[in-house]
A and B are shown apart, each in its own frame.
Chain A
Amino acid sequence: MNKREGEGCPRRNADAVQDREMSANPSSPVIAAFKVFQQELDTKHDKYERLVKMSRDITIESKRTIFLLHRVTSVPEAEDVLSEADVKLDGVRQKIGQIAEELRGEDIHQFHRAFTPGIQEYVEAVSFLHYIRHRSLISLEEINARLVFMRAEKGAAETMPLGSQVLTFQVTPSDYLLGVADLTGELMRMCISSVGNGDIDTPFQLSQFLRQIHDGFSYIGNTGPYEVSKKLHTLRQSLGKVEDACYTLRVRGSEIPKHMLADVFSSRTTLIDPEEGVV
């Protein structure tokens, strides 16, 4: 069977090529229609790629801001670091403004997958900063309120006679939720490092805050998007670590002089860590 087919192949291919050349004449309505589809699809894919790139930039900048914020505990003037983080986040907001620009007149959900990682990272950074400053959880409205962009006045006046336009970007509740879930990981790191600096109040505040967030996530449970249930597991682990740290502080804190606390804690974490590596 196969042999016969193989012999027939060259001839048939030649026929097919001929057919194709005949049918590929540009005046055919089918070809004309597909040329339109080609343009439409290319435009859409280009836009998608641009959004992915912006999202990556946002992710990188937000991550850098988070690293910067972790330095708060080790620096005497926290306010300097915080204002620097503010400047960085302003830069990130500019980029989100570009996304909003790109999405003007589009259905935001059509391209949502392109930029959701960046937005989640931004939520994480902005809520981390908010926590360090106000010791509370930033609300979705507060985040969205800052994502209102006026089109740059200079550029707008020249190119667009319409003048300044207001563009808004809405973080979806599920993006917010996933960003907050990531935030808990950062809070756990902050807790451990603040103990290292001999700060005894912060861990207790953090454990309380984390517990509230954990309760909130348990309340939502599996009604949320699929990713939430995955993050809930990590959240439990973070909470466990923070609660352990508080426990150690409470038990050992009364026995040992304050200046030696860091040593006690670090020796305890080295005891814990290998165990976790096994589990």
Chain B
Amino acid sequence: MSVTEMFSYIQGFLSADQDIREDIRKVVQILEQTAREILTVLQSVHQPSGFKEIPSKCAKARELFCTVRTQIADLKTKFPVEQYYRFHEHWRFVLQRLAFLAAFVVYLESETLVTREAVAHILGIEVVREKGFHLDVEDYLAGVLIMASELSRLAVNSVTAGDYNRPLRISNFINELDSGFRLLNLKNDPLRKRYDGLKYDVKKIEEVVYDLSIRGLAKESESGGAK
């Protein structure tokens, strides 16, 4: 094979590669749009009036997740399934966002940590790599960390809205999450950087809890809840 032939063969490979990337980019863009819509729906829980509407907001978000499922199904057709990691970078960001949104919805509904299986189910993807388009464990954990900072914000806003009980529950939840993350041996990678931010979320929520407890507000609302 001559040098010229060899190079034109490689050129052919490279341009085919670029075509695939172009296709993926288009679908991911649409997916990002849907993710933003879901986020907008969920953001309203920070409004004072939004606290009563949490169930209906969650239901609306869940409806939008149906759209996400069809869009991800579309994404799956754009590349050979065994080359997931070759193009991983293209959807890594949006998948982390979606994992966060799914985790947030589940937390608002049941105040529990969503399992990786449940996120995969909500997004219509797999957990195990062998079975196809899957949710990488690092992307799942990154999504959970995004949720932690959202919850610290929620704790602050729920006090403003007069719900003094929620911060205590959030505090317990985040502390559990923190001790969970402490079990992991993270390398010096993006996940580790994100995890380093978790302590500030923990601190923030503890401050909120502290402010409530020195003013006796936490107790008050507990007795209020008992009534």
Contact = CB atoms under 8 A, between A and B. Distances in A.
Bind each other: yes
Chain B binding surface SS class: helix
Interface residues of A, number: 47
B85 A12 contact: no
Contacts of A209: 3
A19 B210 contact: no
A23 B14 contact: no
Contact of A37 (B13, B130, B184): B184
B52 interface: no
B171 interface: yes
Point out which of B10, B11, B175 has the most chain A C-beta atoms below 10 A from its C-beta.
B10
Interface in B69-99: 82-86, 88
Contacts of A2: none
Contacts of A37: 137, 141, 183-184
A41 B185 contact: yes
Contacts of A91: none
Contacts of A212: 2-4
Chain B, interface size category, equals: 35 or more
B113 A30 contact: yes
A134 to B, nearest CB: 12
A38 interface: yes
A223 interface: yes
A28 B7 CA distance: 58
A16 B180 contact: no
A8 B181 contact: no
A177 B6 CA distance: 10
B15 interface: yes
A219 B171 contact: no
B49 interface: no
Contacts of A217: 7
B186 A41 contact: yes
B60 interface: no
Point out which of A11, A173, A174, A176 has the most chain B C-beta atoms below 10 A from its C-beta.
A173
A19 B172 contact: yes
Point out which of B3, B83, B129 has the most chain A C-beta atoms below 10 A from its C-beta.
B3
A24 B182 CA distance: 10
A33 B112 CA distance: 13
Interface string B154-196: 0000000000000000011001111111011111000000000
Given A30-B113, A137-B6, A223-B18, A20 B181 contact: no
Interface in B175-227: 175-181, 183-187, 202, 206-207, 210
Contacts of B85: 107, 109-110, 112
A195 B2 CA distance: 26
Nearest to B82: A107
Interface string A108-121: 01101000000000
A45 B171 CA distance: 31
A43 B22 CA distance: 33
A216 B179 contact: no
Given A16-B206, A30-B113, A220 B7 contact: yes
Given A16-B206, A219-B8, A41 B137 contact: yes
Given A34-B184, A45-B185, A140-B9, A216 B206 contact: no
B206 A34 contact: no
B174 to A, nearest CB: 10
B185 A28 contact: no
A201 interface: no
Given A107-B83, A137-B6, A219-B7, A34 B115 contact: no
Given A33-B115, A38-B183, A140 B14 contact: no
Contacts of B181: 34
A23 B18 contact: no
28 contacts: A16-B202, A19-B171, A20-B178, A23-B172, A30-B177, A31-B176, A31-B180, A31-B183, A34-B183, A34-B184, A37-B184, A41-B186, A105-B130, A112-B85, A136-B2, A136-B3, A137-B2, A137-B3, A137-B6, A139-B6, A140-B9, A140-B10, A177-B10, A212-B3, A215-B7, A216-B3, A219-B7, A219-B8
Given A20-B179, A140-B9, 14 more contacts: A29-B112, A31-B176, A31-B180, A41-B184, A107-B84, A107-B85, A109-B85, A177-B10, A212-B2, A212-B4, A216-B6, A216-B7, A220-B14, A224-B14
**Chain A to chain B: the 8 pairs with minimum beta-carbon distance, closest first:** A216-B7, A34-B180, A110-B85, A109-B85, A109-B86, A23-B176, A212-B3, A24-B179
